[in-house]
């Protein structure tokens, strides 16, 4: 089914089709990107239905090369969730204001057309996000919230001009901070929302930071996403998605992580038109306390396997 704005695949509670279960897998022990995903599939005992792929503004894209991540995903019928950061492969920020004002024939405009044409050529639906977690302080050099919204809308318009009909526009924001800071804070999530006319799916990256930042308490998935869900309730025509989730083990409680994963998978079943439930099989910046791998213990991996085996998630 080709997707137009505001018409996303129906999933979630009571749906005839299963909610895709998948995620992102970081490389370990000299693995290639593809091998990292394949190992995660092997550990889970099932294929990943949906995979997260991250690109820089000027990244290459090789869907016809089976050894590339996108080539593997294409060959194996994976649904891609593509995040394009407004930074170059060299780490230079690309100004949202410049993107929004880019003229036809300019390098920035041409790059937007390139991304549009890449997505148009993908054999199926693509969840696409321009600069996920834009409110994060890592994006300070790119500009302000109004400039981000203008850049998003400009890219959307170019995709429309290029005849792209298979892209599901997915706005991905951080899980907790953007929703719990004061409304006056620059990071406040709703300030960064491009608007219902420009977004199909409201998506969130959810992390329990307890062992990463010891000033923060252990928190349940439901408490971490309550404010996001309140925002989603204000936009009932929009589908929802978990594009990343993660928690580390809780010292002194060997079942805490497994229970957290199990409960998270239950909590999202009440979300509006849930599109996917995706794990972040990695760790944060090599921080010892931020081990978000699903296999940090036999119990946590078993919990993830049990989630993937549920018919609700296509198991």
Region 100-114: mean pLDDT is 98
SS3 285: coil
Q: Delineate the domains of the chain, giving CATH numbers in brackets.
A: 21-313 (3.20.20.80)
Question: Would the pLDDT of 188 be above 80?
Answer: yes
To the question of pTM greater than 0.75 for the whole model, the response is yes
Q: Percent of the chain scored above 70 by pLDDT?
A: 94
Q: What pLDDT does residue 10 have?
A: 64
Write down the pLDDT at residue 14.
Answer: 45
pLDDT per residue over 26-73, tens digit each?
999 999 999 999 999 999 999 999 999 999 999 999 999 999 999 999
Distance CA 161, CA 101 (A): 16
Q: Is residue 176 very low, low, confident or very high in pLDDT (cuts 50, 70, 90)? A: confident
Q: How far apart are the first and last CA of the chain?
A: 22
Contacts with 193 (C-beta within 8 Å, 6 or more apart), sequence order: 149, 171, 199
4 pLDDT band, cuts 50/70/90, is: very low
> In this predicted structure, what is the pLDDT of residue 175?
79
Q: Across residues 192-206, what is the average pLDDT?
A: 98
Mean per-residue pLDDT, 279-286: 90
Query: Which residues touch 104 (CB under 8 Å, ≥6 apart)?
Result: none
Long-range contacts of 96-105 (CB under 8 A, 24+ apart): 96/131, 96/142, 96/143, 96/144, 96/147, 96/148, 96/150, 96/151, 97/143, 97/147, 97/150, 97/151, 99/150, 99/151, 99/154, 99/155, 100/147, 100/150, 100/151, 100/153, 100/154, 102/154
Identify which has the larger pLDDT, 146 or 2.
Answer: 146
The confidence score (pLDDT) of residue 284 equals 85
pLDDT of res. 118: 98
How high is the pLDDT of residue 287? 80
* DSSP letter for each residue of 117-178: HHHHHSSS-EEEEESTTTTSGGGGGG--HHHHHHHHHHHHHHHHHTT--SEEEEEEEESSHH
Contact 292, 280 (CB under 8 A): yes
HSE-CB of 218 using CA atoms within 13 angstroms: 13
For residues 228 and 181, is the Cβ–Cβ distance under 8 A?
no
* pLDDT value for 210: 86
- Note the residue count of the chain: 315
Q: Residue 280: is its pLDDT beyond 70?
A: yes
pLDDT at residue 226 above 60? yes
Per-residue pLDDT, 1: 32
* CA–CA dist 244, 249 (Å, integer): 17
11 pLDDT higher than 70: no
Query: What is the chain's percent helix, strand, coil content, to nearest 5?
Result: 35, 20, 45
Interacting residues of 252 by C-beta distance below 8 A, sequence separation 6+: none
Measured CA to CA, the distance from residue 157 to residue 164 in angstroms comes to 10
Q: Which of 93-97, 126-130, 289-293 has the lowest mean pLDDT?
A: 289-293
Average pLDDT over residues 192-217: 91
Give pLDDT, residue 16.
55
Query: Radius of gyration of the chain from Cα atoms?
Result: 19
């Amino acid at each position: 089914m080709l997707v137009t704005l505001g018409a996303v695949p129906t999933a979630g509670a009571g749906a005839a089709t299963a909610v895709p279960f998948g995620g992102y897998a970081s490389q370990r022990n000299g693995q290639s990107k593809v091998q990292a995903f394949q190992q995660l599939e092997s550990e889970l005992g099932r294929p990943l239905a949906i995979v997260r792929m991250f690109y820089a503004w000027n990244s290459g894209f090789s869907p016809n090369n089976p050894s590339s991540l996108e080539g593997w995903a294409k060959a194996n019928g994976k649904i891609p969730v593509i995040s394009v950061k407004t930074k170059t492969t060299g780490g230079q920020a690309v100004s949202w204001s410049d993107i929004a004002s880019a003229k036809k024939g300019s390098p920035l405009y041409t790059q937007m057309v390139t991304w549009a044409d890449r997505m148009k050529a993908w054999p199926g639906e693509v969840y696409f996000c321009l600069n996920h977690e834009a409110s994060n302080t890592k994006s300070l050099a790119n500009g302000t919230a109004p400039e981000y919204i203008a850049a998003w809308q400009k890219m959307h318009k170019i995709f429309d001009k290029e005849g792209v009909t298979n892209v599901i526009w997915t706005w991905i924001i951080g899980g907790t901070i953007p929703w719990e800071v004061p409304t006056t804070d620059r990071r406040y999530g709703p300030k960064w929302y491009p608007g219902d006319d420009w977004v199909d799916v409201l998506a969130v990256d959810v992390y329990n930071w307890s062992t990463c930042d010891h000033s923060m308490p252990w928190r349940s998935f439901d408490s971490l996403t309550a404010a996001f869900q309140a925002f989603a309730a204000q936009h009932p025509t929009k589908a929802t998605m978990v594009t990343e989730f993660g928690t580390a083990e809780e010292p002194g409680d060997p079942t805490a992580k497994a229970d957290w994963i199990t409960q998270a998978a239950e909590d999202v079943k009440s979300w509006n038109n849930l599109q996917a439930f995706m794990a972040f099989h990695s760790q944060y910046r090599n921080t010892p306390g931020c081990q978000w791998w699903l296999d940090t213990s036999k119990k946590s991996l078993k919990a993830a396997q049990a989630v993937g085996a549920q018919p609700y998630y296509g198991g």
